[in-house]
Structure 1
Amino acid sequence: MWERYRANALSFQHRPPYDHTTRSLLGHFYMLRTNATVPKDTFGAISTYLAATAERGCTMRFWIYFKGTNNGELVVGYRYAIGDTIIPLLITDYQSCSTNATVCSWQRINVLIDSVLTQPTEIIIGARTGADRDAIMALDDITFTPQCVKFNGTIPTRPPTEPTTPYTGTPTTSTTTTTTPYTGTPTTSTTTTTTPTTTTSYRECAQYICYNNGICKPSPTEVGKPICECQPGYTGAQCETKEPQKKSHLGGILGGIFGALAVIALIIVGYIFVLPKIRAARSGEASALLRESLPIGPITNPAYSETAASSDA
């Protein structure tokens, strides 16, 4: 599906104005064929193999030229075995120029991939055709940062294990794309066969994206329509929404318990230390009142007569 072209080998309205490498008509680029013979939603891919690495910062970089009002979709993903579902990777934003745009340019895409390189991995750049038969989808200058390590072996092949649902209608043409790794620029080989159309879970899921490591599976109720099984903490038709974390009331409960204990402790402390002081203060006030009620001067006995005492003497 991705085919290598020289810029001046195509008519101007069906190609980028120049390649990105040399910015001339003599340079080459990859382009996805879009014409009346290619069905809508046809998926094509180019890939390479990277080895597992613990070094951080491995990034894939490439340039795209997308032009078309109803253009196709760019898909960048990975898998650990041929035949597995392609797991999408987060890519930088890109825009497709409208069909009648007079100015359109190459755009750079950066994809950080070090977190998925836990074992030999196939890194895939794919595209799915849209409704626009005159759309332009071109690719050029695929590079990797020095932290990436090329894998020269082969990754395992895992055939589909789920049953297929045969289709008894008119036979149609289906296109399959396989990749051949080597040390140069990634290339693809394309094989086209005419067979009765058979719906398989892999073919459905290869064109359906499940985000945040969601798992694509066939729908149990609708034939030919895949669904996403989301990882814990994510929701949505394609696992694109992160669920809000549930608030815990443990902090409020513990705060109430410790607050009640603090009040009880204050009451006990008050009973032990403050109450005796209050009693002592009240006793002091009573003594003061008693002293204030006594007359100032000597205490005399009213029944005692000073005169009588003198005469007796």
Structure 2
Amino acid sequence: MIAGGVSYLPGAIPALFSFRMKLRNHEVLLQQMAEFDVTAAACTDPADRDAVEHHVRELFRDSNSPLAADTQRGTLDDAEALPGQDLHGDPLDRFNAYVRATLRESMMAQIGDELYLPWRLCLTASLPMTLYSTVSVLGCDNEPCAESAQMQGYRSTAQYMFTQGCFWLLTLLISYPVVFPILLRMLKRVLTYGDGPVQLLLGILCCCLAYGHCTMCISWVVASLTCFMQSYSPTLLLIFLLVLVVQVVQVTWLFSPNARGTQKQPSGRSVLRQVQYDVVQEGGSSGLESSSSSGLESCGLLDCS
């Protein structure tokens, strides 16, 4: 099983480049949303700018703006009260505030910051090992199961196969997935050294360390569980439980909601404003010219794909 974990090491090199790209693109996305300004949008056709701004003003005019109710009651979030913006006046400023705060906050709650990866996604990335685990358990190390159990010190074939199944299940759930968020955090530090051979060498070193840590976590689970099953004692049970607790804490820390990079979920007002915005968009767009839609696409405010 340890050899199976080490076999993942060649995949560390592609992971280095793909994770580095993920970090950069995600960070750029969040930065662009934090500094969003509709008046600075680059339009393919400059003539579309008037149509875009007209469309935004219609959606965010005083009577229907998703931010209007909060602005009038003085309950606007601090993050949305951006310097130099007249939230009681220009609808374009209200739209900028909506993108910079409400929309960005909602997106962060869904996908997290550049260091966040969902546990289920990391579990899916370990699918080859999941399939291999079936071969390992049922194949009995390419020997008759009774002989493998006897050679490895188990009292029965059932005990041998039960132990094999347990440590595969545990390692697939709490050991293999941690390599990806750990590698992301290490590469985040490496990117501060700029592009060049130093960054590449440090990145390769980080990949080896991350995958080595994963293999070490697997070894702890396998060794503690095997010793406990073969030679039961309260001390061995305590060691096995301690290993599990440490790794569960590690997984919880790496994949908890706080790891998304947000301090809170979208507020009730944020969700309400999103609903209001959708209603306004559906109701108000009927009175606009069809050129507005093409203008939004031209200026990159709609997904043309």
Normalising by structure 2, report the TM-score.
0.19
Q: Which has the larger radius of gyration?
A: 1
Greater RCO structure (CA 8 Å; 6+ sep): 2
Of Structure 1 and Structure 2, the greater helix share is in: 2
Of Structure 1 and Structure 2, the greater strand share is in: 1
Normalising by structure 1, report the TM-score.
0.19
